[in-house]
Structure 1
């Protein structure tokens, strides 16, 4: 799936020691195992079948994998998420709901010193109820009412939705109008945390597929 979604190498200036899809799979493993770069790579030393499946004669360093994560844009992960959905049997009955995720690496001392108040990532999931598949998600670091986030998710996924389910927080006139017109019914930096959430949904799909 990763081979279909990305170029062979990150750029024309790449040293071509590792291919982009190899980095993607290793990053998915890191998020799925909820571990550090170094711990993951240490475990893979003892897992020759995985290295063989990825055609990895030698493992990258933790810093190389970290730099790959920094380079890979959110758009790449969204493409992979969408590809993984196509491998699942969906039925168009879609639920929408939001929840908060703690930023585990955010130090209370640091946030007070820098006068930051951000404690959570607010995540809205758009989920097909049959496949238990995350069709889309919206992540924000600011407090925003559910009804203000839903329209963008609906517009991006109109072809996937036959019936939309939501609690009373989504009982909004704009959403009703869209339903009639369109829908028949661990990282420290926030941008990296957004990507990790998308990767988490992607690896959840891979579990369902397997």
Structure 2
């Protein structure tokens, strides 16, 4: 499916500003507003190019630069983008996930599941620089059963049992849920919170 990048960037800009609220204009790093950094990361991922290629591509995309309020001759360096991605806190991504999930019709019926994400594919150089020796992450997702929109995500390097992470994810979204379907790993806590 082909995506019009300008429409994509404008829609991202709107969603990010809505998600970040009063914090959207605060500089994240490099003097640019936080919302610009988030939209640039979305643009980079949608167009499937590296951090180093991002400023080079933007230099020739004047419409996208105009939509972001960037001067094509004064674009952020690729190292600024790279570092800002690591500096953005989890609340930024969680707020963006919440706002983007609201764009889909929600049934109130959700599915809860956990899986593991292998980080061995990350470069060993990056892992050494960051001081991280985590090989595998545990990811718990809450997904709307009709629209398949991801409503919430919990990521942990410590593999807590599903009976610990499940309630945490469900409680964060309890106001919007009518029912939650989960596999047997989550079964211990359901009866506690049913009444």
Q: TM-score, normalised by structure 2?
A: 0.76
Query: Is residue 2:62 matched to residue 1:48?
Result: yes
Gaps of at least 5 residues in structure 1 are: 182-210
1:194-209 matches, cutoff 5 A = none
**What's the counterpart of residue 192 of structure 2?**
177
Q: How many residues align?
A: 172
Quote how far apart the aligned CAs of 1:150 are.
0.3
* 2:173 corresponding residue in structure 1: 157
- What secondary structure does 1:143 align onto? coil
Q: Cα RMSD between the aligned structures?
A: 2.6
How far does residue 167 in structure 1 lie from its aligned partner after superposition? 1.4
Matched, 1:29 2:46: no
Deviation at 1:15, TM superposition (A): 7.2
**CA distance in structure 1 between the partners assigned to 2:114 and 2:108 by the alignment:** 19
What does the per-residue CA deviation read over 1:72-114, in whole Å, with 9 as the maximum and x for residues that have no partner? 2111221122122222210011001111112121539x78xx9
Q: Any gaps of 5 or more consecutive residues in structure 2?
A: 1-14
3-state SS of the aligned residue for 2:114? strand
The answer to whether the aligner puts 1:64 opposite 2:42 as a matched pair is no
2:106 and 2:144 in contact (8 A); partners too: yes
Within-5 A mapping of 1:117-136: 118-136=134-152
1 or 2 for the larger relative contact order (CA 8 Å, sep ≥6)? 1
Quote the Cα distance in structure 2 between the aligned partners of 1:47 and 1:15.
21
Distance of aligned partners of 1:35 and 1:144 in 2 relative to their CA distance in 1, 3 Å threshold: farther
With normalisation by structure 1, the TM-score equals: 0.71
Partner of 1:201: none
